[in-house]
Amino acid sequence: MTIEKFYETLKFILDLDAELEIQPTLESIGSTLTNLVSAPSQPQHQSRLATALEKFAKTSDEMRSRLTPTISSSIAELGGEEFFNPNIAESVQASISANAMTPSVAKEFVDDLETRRSVFLATVKQTQEGLSQLRVTGSSLQPGQSDLAFLIPRELFKNQVSSFAKELLFLSRLIAHFSEAVTGIVEPAELEQLSSSIPTVAIAANVGIVAAIAAVVNKFLEAWEKIEKIRKIRADLNEMGMKGKLVEELTTQITTTINEVIEESAEITLKGYGGDAGRRNELENALKQDTRRLFGQIERGLTIQFRAEPKEDADEKERIALKEVDRVSHVMQFPRIEFEPLLLTQGEVLEGDLPEVTVVSRKTTTKKTTTKEVRKGAKAEQESD
């Protein structure tokens, strides 16, 4: 992550903990358990413990609503995943329930968690203060602003500068096509930040463009969850030796689902396009190419962070777009790669024209289910599964 993103993550941790009083609530549970160990027959201690646990459960629920997949990943990079896990209240409750007759054991568990969490928070605070003294600040958005950041795994471009340049060219083309489809004007991709550890390209863009790309990516991720389930079923069937028509139908269902998302994505993006029919057809083909390549890269580990800062006095269209980007950023879950890539061959990931795929029916079959290379990839995967 960039140094600005690092600073933002530290600040988020401290602000969230202070606002929700996570650590003080955990400490109150530990204190109540100490009293319970000393005087287990006193009913008021049991009552106070129940009250503290209830508050901690509510705090955890609120924390769950505030943590986006992106910020959770950033906190995990810093070693704080356990301390900002929305299930932390459940783990504490489970320890207490499992040791109802021996509260001292539960107390040891809570004391250990409380101590380690306190040390983590102290380190975060000290680090943030040090960065502030060095004049490092975050890159927070102002009301009405939006951006998106592409986190590009090095495996995608094999650490080759020329291949990385092709990836940057693709991102520029992606923004250009989406901007023309949404606004009617080709807007160049404006570099906001660049990080090198995990190559991260942050781009500032019109909220309408960011919202359109976010909607397309979210639609794909929702479909990919279904696809992963199908692939697991297919793998299980192959493992049991049940090859044949059923497995072929599952393979067809995978490619059909992907193609439907690509078609729908182009249609949704061009919904408000006001240009001439000829240019619209060109843009439609370009968007299909872009989304197929983008989806293929997501399958290989690319992730995208979307940000938008709502602004109540914006016009209605902009206000809705800002809130939608903010909402989607809190629910978007990028897949963990469990299978061999299906959508694109290695040579198609960064360059080359992708043959157009036309969907005849959104419920049954397609005229062209996939490209020649993808068909080969699916067949090879089917045999290997």
Please, what is the angle between helix 88-98 and helix 22-38, to 10°? 10
What's the confidence (pLDDT) of residue 381?
46
Mean pLDDT of 326-333: 83
In sign, the C-alpha dihedral spanning 303, 309, 315, 316 is positive
- Distance, in Å, from the CA atom of 18 to the CA atom of 20, rounded to the nearest integer, reads 6
Three-class SS of residue 304? strand
What are the tokens at 206? 């019109």
**In the predicted structure, residue 370 carries a pLDDT above the cut 80:** no
Give alpha helix (H) positions in 240-348.
245-269, 277-299, 316-331
Domains and CATH numbers, the chain: 3-133 (1.20.120), 146-384 (no CATH)
**In the predicted structure, residue 361 carries a pLDDT above the cut 70:** no
In 3D, which of 211, 161, 171, 164 has the Cα closest to residue 191? Answer: 171
**In the predicted structure, residue 357 carries a pLDDT above the cut 60:** no
**In the predicted structure, residue 336 carries a pLDDT above the cut 80:** no
What are the tokens at 97? 């329930």
Give the distance between the most distant pair of CA atoms in the chain: 82
Task: For residue range 294-315, list pLDDT tens digits in order.
Answer: 998 998 889 998 988 888 888 8
- Distance, in Å, from the CA atom of 323 to the CA atom of 307, rounded to the nearest integer, reads 10
Rounded to 5°, the CA angle 35-37-41 comes to 85
**In the predicted structure, residue 162 carries a pLDDT above the cut 70:** yes
Secondary element (H or E) of residue 308? strand 303-308
User: Burial of 32 by CB count in 10 Å (0-12 exposed, 13-18 middle, 19+ buried)?
Assistant: buried
DSSP per-residue letters across 150-210: EE--HHHHTT-HHHHHHHHHHHHHHHHHHHHHHHSS----EEEEEETTTTEEEEE--HHHH
How many other CB atoms sit within 10 Å of the CB of residue 241? 7
- Distance, in Å, from the CA atom of 288 to the CA atom of 272, rounded to the nearest integer, reads 17
**In the predicted structure, residue 339 carries a pLDDT above the cut 50:** yes
Mean pLDDT of the chain: 83
What's the confidence (pLDDT) of residue 375?
41
What are the tokens at 27? 């400490």
Task: For residue range 10-20, list pLDDT tens digits in order.
Answer: 999 999 999 99
HSE-up of 225 (CA within 13 Å, CB side)?
Answer: 8
What's the confidence (pLDDT) of residue 260?
92
- 326 pLDDT band, cuts 50/70/90, is confident
Which amino acid is it at 82? E
What's the confidence (pLDDT) of residue 299?
87
- 250 pLDDT band, cuts 50/70/90, is confident
- 378 pLDDT band, cuts 50/70/90, is very low
Phi, psi of 302 (to 5 degrees): -65, 135
**In the predicted structure, residue 59 carries a pLDDT above the cut 60:** yes
What are the tokens at 168? 């940057």
Q: Which residues contact 148 (CB under 8 A, 6 or more apart)?
A: 202, 203, 205, 210, 213, 214, 304, 305, 306, 307
Percent of the chain clearing pLDDT 90 (strictly above)? 42
Percent of the chain clearing pLDDT 70 (strictly above)? 87
What one-character DSSP code corresponds to residue 78?
T
What are the tokens at 300? 């290989």
What's the confidence (pLDDT) of residue 338?
66
Secondary element (H or E) of residue 121? helix 103-133
Contact at 8 Å (CB) between 192 and 139? Answer: yes
What's the confidence (pLDDT) of residue 263?
94
